[in-house]
Amino acid sequence: MSRKSIFSPLVLAVVVLAGFLAYLFIPQDEVAETRQGRATPVKAEPVKRQPFPVTIEALGTANANESVTLTAQEADIVSEVMFEDGETVEAGQLLIQLNNEEELARIEELEANIEEARRQLDRVQNLRASSAASEQLFDEQQARVKALRAQLDVAKAQLRNLQVRAPFAGLLGIRAVSKGSLIRPADVITTLDDTSVMKVDFSVAENHLASLAPGQRITASSVAYPGASFDGTISTIDSRVDPISRSVLVRAIIDNEDGRLRPGMLLQITVEKRVLDALVVPEKALVPVQNKQFVFVVDGEAVRETEVTLGERKPGMVQIIEGVSEGDLVVTEGTLRVRDGSKVNVLNAGKEG
């Protein structure tokens, strides 16, 4: 067999694979012995005692303080449109005027009839004083004046029904009608929202019910404004727990004078449940083993594996109830490379965090 065939690529591949498998199956004790005396580089942070807010997370929907879809009360032709899309209006401001020529003429007719009926009533009253007119004639003429006045009130009410006014101050939506179009009572003219204050409704699991109270502070955030938060307070807690979801509906009020929040927005709600005076470590320091949790405490030049009892959690941090003391240095980076008694070199020794 030639030398070229002995060192073929296939033979080399087999040799490399065999060496790799041998490395994988070397007993761990032997590996430890080869590393004995070498310190593993790690990063560590001290156990701190600090205020630890316990919060409730929920998703909520923003609603306007007041909201209405504007429609007409009568079917008629639009004679004037007195607003623009997205305009801010005051309470009572005239927005739409429907054709009112017939009603104006009717009012003018009734006013003339009332004026004539009042003159006739004055005449009858003078004649009654001289016994030239009967009491019955006076009563009939007085009733006629009252009837005409009632008809005038009805005509004026009908005239008002041909106007669409803003029921409260707020922000108008998109206009859906134009001058000259025929509008019916079911037709949408536009929307009106009072967005100076936003109502945010969200659901909370019933096990948190005892931790909720009106006036409690909440914080809201939206993907529309990354990094921004909106402060508010709980205004109402529903009187019932949903028997299906086992949650209670909560309403919070958020000031929105700058107008950034809009009705229908999805908000991430954080409710501050309570604030603990707790021992806290970074969550990345934990080493789970079955159903237990451990940390590696730096003790001189080595680490000591210590079981801990956990309390409340929040993203990135965890409360420690038992197992460590304030000031203990725990490994936060490199936990997978050490075990109980391993020598370590703390890279960030003397540095905060």
Lay out the sheet containing 182-183: strands in order across: 163-165, 94-98, 76-81, 182-183
Domain boundary (249, 272, 295) is at 272
Tens digits of residue pLDDT in 88-114: 999 999 999 998 888 888 888 888 888
91/166 same-domain check: yes
203/249 same-domain check: yes
User: Which single residue is written with the structure tokens 């001290």?
Assistant: 46
**Mean pLDDT, the chain, whole residue set:** 85
The region of weakest confidence among 121-130, 194-203, 317-326, 338-347 is 121-130
In a domain, 295, yes or no: no
pLDDT band at 15 (very low <50, low <70, confident <90, very high): low
CATH of residue 110: 1.10.287
pLDDT band at 287 (very low <50, low <70, confident <90, very high): very high
Q: Which pTM was predicted? A: 0.59
CATH of residue 229: 2.40.30.170
Mean pLDDT for 190-195 is 93
pLDDT band at 29 (very low <50, low <70, confident <90, very high): very low
The region of weakest confidence among 89-103, 192-206, 283-297, 337-351 is 337-351
pLDDT of residue 352: 53
User: Which single residue is written with the structure tokens 């070498």?
Assistant: 38
Tens digits of residue pLDDT in 306-330: 999 998 888 888 999 999 999 999 9
How many angstroms separate the CA atoms of 3 and 13, rounded? Answer: 17
- Burial code of 308-321, b = ≥16 C-beta within 10 A, e = fewer? beebbeeeebbbbe
Range of the domain at 82: 73-98+162-186
In a domain, 330, yes or no: no
Higher pLDDT, 154 or 140: 154
How many independent structural domains does the chain possess?
Answer: 3
pLDDT of residue 152: 87
202/257 same-domain check: yes
Tens digits of residue pLDDT in 157-187: 888 888 899 999 999 999 999 998 898 988 8
pLDDT of residue 132: 59
